[in-house]
Amino acid sequence: MSAQASKKLLNVLKGNQEAVPPIWLMRQAGRYLPEYRALRAEKGGFLALAYDSDAATEITLQPIKRFGFDGAILFSDILVIPHAMGQDLWFETGEGPRLAPRLAESRLEEFVPAPERLNPVVDTVRKVSAALPAETTFLGFAGSPWTVATYMVHGQGSKDQAEARRMAHAEPERFAGLIEAIISATVDYLANQIDAGVDAVQLFDSWAGSLSPAQFQKWVIAPNAEIVRRLKARNPNAVIIGFPKGAGGKLAAYAEGTGVDALGLDETVDPHWANRELPKGLPVQGNLDPMQLVAGGPGLEARVHDIIDGLKGRPHIFNLGHGVTPETPIPHVERVLQALRSHV
């Protein structure tokens, strides 16, 4: 059997079912792991780690070594794209990312592109690809254009993405130009990740839930569809997961409109509803509540089984509804793995 054929997670992404759903967790490499905290204390801040290919390789591999997940996800950040487009990027301790100058007060044309900033990330892909066990699926990723644009406009994360939403309504041509620039940079970036060794890529649209249906079609579905189209034109074998967090009832339209190969479900989605309403045979990923993973309690295993049962008969990758949080106890992750692998 070839290494490719033995990758259970990749097999599911290609539309096949496994007896036990393969598993990886968003943000599975991070602050809840003592080995990550030790490396970060030695090397410095988050961005320094992400751009140090040896450190980023080690971090990507840490959860595979500890838990034996079926998938490894590249250790990086969605905001490396605006950084490569010429916006300054840094992380404030305890507060998260900052970007400057904010596009709410500046023009994209004023930025000096710096695509070489992505070189260390692609180097990380090559190193991880060479080091992973043959059965482990390697996932790359990028942020989707709408979510990346909200950070570029606001200069940081925002509660309701008001400045980006306002710009999209008031200056649609200007905003469309920003979205197109992000699409172009993202397609190049993901194509380079695939060429360097990832098996599949995920498009994170963390703020997709803040848009009205018409705006969702314009700024979420259409741009992601264009990324899928261009990426598959460059690499017909590209495998793409879409994760429009908060899309809810618009998930079926997203799946049909974007042409993604698989769909991530956040924790607000009922697996039974998703199984009934989403296109037949479409692989799905999710969707344990990250806070239930933190809390543990007697209901944790029951919820794992309910999610698996709710998506029965459909290709399914077990995951969270969003990322692992820093306060997550490691024994709770181990309980999820045990429940998953003992499911009958």
Active site residues: 27, 31, 40, 77, 151
DSSP one-letter code for 241:
E
Residue 137 β-bridge partners: 71
Omega cis (within 30) before 101: yes
Give me the phi and psi of 210, to 5 degrees please.
-90, 5
Residue 88 β-bridge partners: 100
Residue 91 β-bridge partners: 97
- Cα–Cα distances (Å) from 167 to 42, 124, 174, in that order, read 41, 36, 8
Asked if 220 contacts 146 with a C-beta cutoff of 8 angstroms, the reply is yes
Asked if 80 contacts 121 with a C-beta cutoff of 8 angstroms, the reply is yes
Tell me how far apart the alpha carbons of residues 139 and 158 are, in angstroms, rounded to a whole number: 27
| Largest pairwise CA distance in the chain | 58
Q: Which two tokens stand for residue 219?
A: 């700024």
Tell me how far apart the alpha carbons of residues 231 and 20 are, in angstroms, rounded to a whole number: 30
DSSP one-letter code for 115:
G
User: Would you list the DSSP string of 262-312?
Assistant: EEE--TTS-HHHHHHHSPTT--EEEEE-HHHHHH--THHHHHHHHHHHHTT
